[in-house]
Amino acid sequence: MKLIKVFLGGTCNETTWRDELISMLKIDYFNPVVEDWTPDCIETENREKEICDYSLFVITKEMTGVYSIAEVVDISNKVAHKAILCILYDGFDEGQSRSLKAVERLVSDNGGFVCNSLNDVAEFLNSK
């Protein structure tokens, strides 16, 4: 039996969602967050994105950039079965929430998995 592995992409900025999710996972994972980001880290991250069975992007109110949104939409277009989008809406305003709901529809319409809780992510991944 092959061990499933997930790439843990999405909001950084000292969020705790990765630690919370990791404690619930029964599968392997790659956490790209490191103290010192170097060119080697980019190479490792890109390699892991290729070999992981799933690419998860958790979006939280601490998000300052939008690259994770672009990544999950791109993956859902290219390899939909690998794309997982989890938006934790607490803290987003109404306009941001409407925009994020549109991103959810895009990813879902492409065939990616979309949810709004870390529990749902863990259940989905642990069932694989």
Q: What is the pLDDT of residues 99-124, one digit of tens each?
A: 999 999 999 999 999 999 999 999 99
| Second-level CATH architecture of 5-126 | 3-Layer(aba) Sandwich (3.40)
- Structural domain boundaries in the chain: 5-126
Q: What is the pLDDT of residues 34-55, one digit of tens each?
A: 888 888 988 999 999 999 999 9
Q: Closest by alpha carbon to 10, among 108, 112, 123, 88?
A: 88
pLDDT, position 34: 87
Q: In angstroms, rounded to a whole number, what is the distance separating the alpha carbons of residues 69 and 58?
A: 9
pLDDT, position 115: 98
